[in-house]
Every structure is written in C-alpha cells, then in structure tokens.
Amino acid sequence: MRFEIDERQPIYRQIVEALIRQIACGEWPPGGKLPSIREVAAAARVNPNTVARAFQELERTGLAETRRGEGTFVTTDTEAIKACREKTAREIWTDFLRKMRELGFTNEEVRRLAAELKEE
C-alpha cells in the first residue's frame, strides 16, 4: 500500500484516485476488505479525517461500501469495477488528447504517432 502525495493538491482526492486505481487493477479484489482508515492514514502519514473523507468519496462512486463495525469492502459488482476501469482509462485518454491538441497535433497525427511508437 503506497501513496504518492503531492501536497499542492487536495490530499483526499489523491487518496480517492489512488484507491480507485488500486481497485481497478485488482490490488484490492472484489468483495475484499480495504485497509482501515487508520492503516491508510499511518501508511500515507496523512490525517485520518482526510482519509475518512476520501473513503466517503469512494463510497459515493459505488466502488466500496462500509459495513458498520466491520470496515470498508470493495464492491462485489465486477461490472462496476470494469466500468470504473474504463472510465479512468477514458479520463487518461481525454487528458492525453487535450495535451496533444495543445501541442497542435491533429487526430490523424496522433494515430500515426501511436502506430510508430508501438513499433519501437
């Protein structure tokens, strides 16, 4: 369990994103128990209140649910996880495309570049 934190951005959002990424790539399997707030706080050396807020956000995405007195669990809904994985991929892709446009690349050029880079 590792968290790279950039203190210039709200920390809770980075924790949410990190957890989503970890769930998406299967580090926390469907239906499995997530580490406790305290554990995440200690590992990331981050305020537990911040982590609690991140967990709330995470629940709102539907990827995890908190059972009273038991802890927080990854959803068993593998479709939702898959969807989330795709959504994250889309976000990365969109962000990538936006940056490419800023550099003045057209879709055609991007496609050509992708093919070229694949061959390397």
Contacting positions for another protein (CB under 8 A): 5-12, 38-39, 41-42, 44-50, 53
Cβ nearer to another protein, comparing 50 with 75: 50
Question: Residue 52 in contact with residue 37, Cβ under 8 Å?
Answer: yes
Local structure of residue 62 (DSSP, 8 states) = T
Cβ nearer to another protein, comparing 11 with 24: 11
CA distance 54 to 58: 6
- Please identify which residue in the block is written with the tokens 């991929």: 89
What are residue 49's phi and psi, to 5 degrees?
-60, -40
Cβ nearer to another protein, comparing 17 with 39: 39
Minimal distance, residue 99 CB to another protein, in Å: 18
Minimal distance, residue 86 CB to another protein, in Å: 27
Cβ nearer to another protein, comparing 40 with 81: 40
Question: Residue 63 in contact with residue 54, Cβ under 8 Å?
Answer: no
Minimal distance, residue 15 CB to another protein, in Å: 10
- Please identify which residue in the block is written with the tokens 């924790």: 15
Minimal distance, residue 53 CB to another protein, in Å: 8
Question: Residue 90 in contact with residue 84, Cβ under 8 Å?
Answer: no
